Amino acid sequence: MLKKITKAELDYLTEGGTILETEGPLFKVMLLPNRRIVKLFRRKRLISSQIWLKHASRFEKNARELKRLGFITIEVESVFNIPEVGRQGVLYNLLEGDTLRDWLPQQDDDVCQAKFEKFGAFIAEMHRKGILFRSLHLGNVLVLPDGEFGIIDIADMSFRTKGCLSVGQRIRNFHHMDRDNRDRRYLADEAGSKLIQRYIEAAALSDKANLKITSAFEEIFAPYKDIQHV
């Protein structure tokens, strides 16, 4: 069971913080002066899996599992329930780095393409270890100061207990990347070609699976080839 705190205790915890995202009358994400983050969750549907596993608890569980599998992500300090406002919350450290979405426009084409090759291998490793990251997009993957990748916004993911993702799940995960024109214009261009080529090499699947995944990736992003740089 989550620890219960009052609205007054939440206000004390977040005093002096900077709101990064709002949801209704409350903040959704807040950066605190001590470089920690408070993220609030609410149950969006009357019938929801959150009845059985609170969103904040799932966030904490996913962080532990990602670290166990060798991926860099946030460190959760605490999870809590605020019944007065109908929210659950999580307090975690700020993972330093720039999102891929923000990092890429600062780089030249060769650097971007090399990073997308590395990103393709990174996604293949997640899929090989049975991770389906439903919020996979360039705004939820950080380029860390050492050049490695970190994962944020980790509430919506699942882990296969045995084996890697199926071909269908892999394709579905690439569909999750089809969200934002700032991402699409890379994924429809040479950088996207580098990503999927390296993904196929790293995934080490059958020729039939490789063809199916490559064709699906191209079908997803081909319509965006005329998107201009923004």
pLDDT block averages, 10 residues each, the chain of length 230 = 90 96 91 96 57 73 96 95 92 96 95 97 98 96 97 94 94 96 94 97 97 98 78
Per the structure block, which two tokens stand in for 4? Answer: 């219960």
Query: What DSSP line would sit under 178-202, residue for residue?
Result: TT-HHHHHHHTSHHHHHHHHHHHHH
What is residue 1's predicted lDDT score, i.e. its pLDDT?
65
Euclidean distance between CA atoms 170 and 123, whole angstroms: 9
- Residue 127 and residue 203 in contact, taking contact as beta carbons nearer than 8 Å: yes
How far from the centroid of its chain's Cα atoms is residue 166's Cα?
A: 20
Nearest in space to 188 (alpha carbons), one of 162, 140, 223: 223
What is residue 51's predicted lDDT score, i.e. its pLDDT?
44
Q: How far apart are the first and last CA of the chain?
A: 46
Q: How far is CA 128 from CA 42, 55, 191, in A?
A: 32, 25, 22
Half-sphere CA count of 64, side-chain side, radius 13 A: 8
What is residue 65's predicted lDDT score, i.e. its pLDDT?
96
What is residue 14's predicted lDDT score, i.e. its pLDDT?
96
What is residue 162's predicted lDDT score, i.e. its pLDDT?
86
- The dihedral over CA atoms of 120, 121, 122, 123, expressed in degrees to the nearest 10, equals 50
What is residue 49's predicted lDDT score, i.e. its pLDDT?
44
- Residue 209 and residue 215 in contact, taking contact as beta carbons nearer than 8 Å: no
How far from the centroid of its chain's Cα atoms is residue 11's Cα?
A: 27
CB neighbours of 153 closer than 8 A, spacing ≥ 6?
135, 139, 140
What is residue 55's predicted lDDT score, i.e. its pLDDT?
81
pLDDT digits (tens, 9 = 90+) for 2-52: 789 999 999 999 999 999 999 888 999 999 999 999 999 986 554 444 443
How far from the centroid of its chain's Cα atoms is residue 31's Cα?
A: 18
Nearest in space to 23 (alpha carbons), one of 40, 37, 6: 40
What is residue 193's predicted lDDT score, i.e. its pLDDT?
97
Sign (positive or negative) of CA dihedral 179, 185, 188, 192? negative
- The dihedral over CA atoms of 64, 68, 70, 73, expressed in degrees to the nearest 10, equals 10
What is residue 42's predicted lDDT score, i.e. its pLDDT?
83
What is residue 201's predicted lDDT score, i.e. its pLDDT?
98
SS3 128: helix
- Facing residues of 133 across strands? 157
The kind and range of the H/E element at 60 are: helix 55-68
